[in-house]
Structure formats: structure tokens, C-alpha cells
Structure 1
Amino acid sequence: MTAPTAFHRYLDALARGDMDALRATLADDVVWHQPGAHSLAGDHRGPDAVLRLLGAFMERSGGTFALAPTGPAMDNGDLVALPVRFSAQAASRTDLAMSGVDLFRIAEDRIAEVWLFSEDQPAEDAFWG
């Protein structure tokens, strides 16, 4: 399987909200590098930690967190980059809406590592607290 094919399995599972299928796309030793200086920032290691992080985004945004590709996925060997737009709302905070780039490293047909880049990291930090 190519890196883009493995990556698209992840995107499809995410779009369907299928957590079992999503977990299957993650390597046992996956590392998700969540940028910033907020309470969810840091390195999240293993599928359980990554799924907890994604769940926290939904919980803290009252289920409004959304991520949408804004262009095609681009691959270079085992790396896949995706331009995205993400948003979330919370009653007690200014809405979050910005562009970013998500970079994935694929190994043995699964996501091994993820780096995220946000258009306005201070605004994202303020939103997630």
C-alpha cells in the first residue's frame, strides 16, 4: 500500500467518525505532535492517547470541532501533507477558525507520526486553554 492510500484510509475513517477504523490506521507506537502552549499540546503516544486527544477536541468544543481538507494531499515518499481548515465553537470562548497543514509519516501502511501547523497558534492556544 502506498503512503497516500494509507493516509486516505485515515481520512475516510475520520470523516465517518468510525473510531475502530481510525484506530486501525494508527501504528502501535504512533506519536502525535500537538503544537502550542495550551492544555492539549504536547506529544501524544500510542493509539489510545491519540484517540483521547481527538475526543477532547470534540468534548471541549461541544461536538463542533470540524476539519476539512482545502486541497489535495501531497506525498513525498513516506510523508503526506494535507492543507486543512479547522474550526470549533465554545460558548465561553471566541470561535476558532483557521487554516493549517497536517503532516503525516506513514510506516508499514499505518500512521506513525503526525505534525500539525496552525495559521495562528496563539489564537488556538487561547481557544483550547
Structure 2
Amino acid sequence: MNDNAAAGGEDRIRSVLETYAAAWKSGDLAAIAAAYHDDFTLHYPGAHALSGVHAGKIAALTVLADFSRRTSRKLVEIVDIMAGLHRGAIIAREQLGRDDAAVEVERVLVYTVADGLLHECWIHDADQELIDRLVGPA
């Protein structure tokens, strides 16, 4: 069941995102993985090897792990958490690339929530061309 205004809306979505953000900040991989719904879907834009729609928790987590491996991704900070009646968002600043050539980029992650878990995500990168370059061609 999709959490929405009738089921607690903003507060419920914000709570799920805050729990997820806390796990992300602490690097707690088990808690991060536990935040995803089994039916999680990741929408990854761009023109790179990981672009596309990845359905299912295992498929999405595999893609996210591959992204981290390819980009040497490190969370710098959670800039903001926002919640509305139907969706929430996390704005994150991440360091991408090897230390000698690392750059920081802001990413907006828009989520839906179902059953108290992250259900769907659309990623919006401030510099899509950079992401495409770092991840590599499709």
C-alpha cells in the first residue's frame, strides 16, 4: 500500500527519509538496505552504463553499489530533507572521483514511500554530464 495523505502523508514520509538519511550518514549498510521496499524501483537518468529503470530491491541495490564502485562516491552531507503528501526528497552533496581528481556534486533524490519503506526513487544530478563521464558509457 502506498503511504499518502490519508495514511499520515508528510510526517510519515519525512520519518522514513530521516531514518534513511541517518543510516546513510553513519554508513550503516545494513540499515540502508533495510530501508528499501522489496518492490523498490530506481529511475536512473543519463547516458551511462547504469541508466534506466531498475525494478526490485536487489537490482536497485546492485546498481547503487556499482555506482559507488565506479565513482568512489562519498557522502559529504545531507543538505536537506523535504516531505510532501505523496513524495519526499533528500538533497545530498557527494564527493565523486578519486581523491586527486574528486569533485563535489549535489544530487536530488525524490522518493515515494510504501509500507514504511522507500518504494521508488528518481535521481536528479546537478551535473549529469559529469555523472555520465564518471560512470562510463552504456
Give the shorter-chain TM-score range: 0.7 to 0.9
Preserved contact between residue 88 and residue 97 of structure 1 (Cα < 8 Å): yes
Corresponding position of 1:119: 126
TM-score by structure 1 length?
Answer: 0.83
Corresponding position of 1:69: 78
Cα offsets for 1:45-103 (capped at 9, x unmatched)? 21212221222123223xx3123222x31111131112222221138x95442223111
Question: Pairwise CA RMSD of aligned residues?
Answer: 2.1
Gaps of 5+ in 1: none
TM-score by structure 2 length?
Answer: 0.79
Aligned residue pairs, count = 125
Instruction: State the secondary structure of the residue aligned to 2:50.
Output: coil
Given candidates 39, 42, 47, the residue that maps to 1:37 is 47
Given candidates 3, 8, 32, the residue that maps to 1:22 is 32
The letter for the 1-side match of 2:113 is I
Gaps of 5+ in 2: 1-10
Cα offsets for 1:3-27 (capped at 9, x unmatched)? 1111112112222332322222111
User: Which structure shows the higher helix fraction?
Assistant: 2
Pair 1:5-2:15 in alignment = yes
Q: List 4+ stretches of structure 1 deviating above 4 A.
A: none
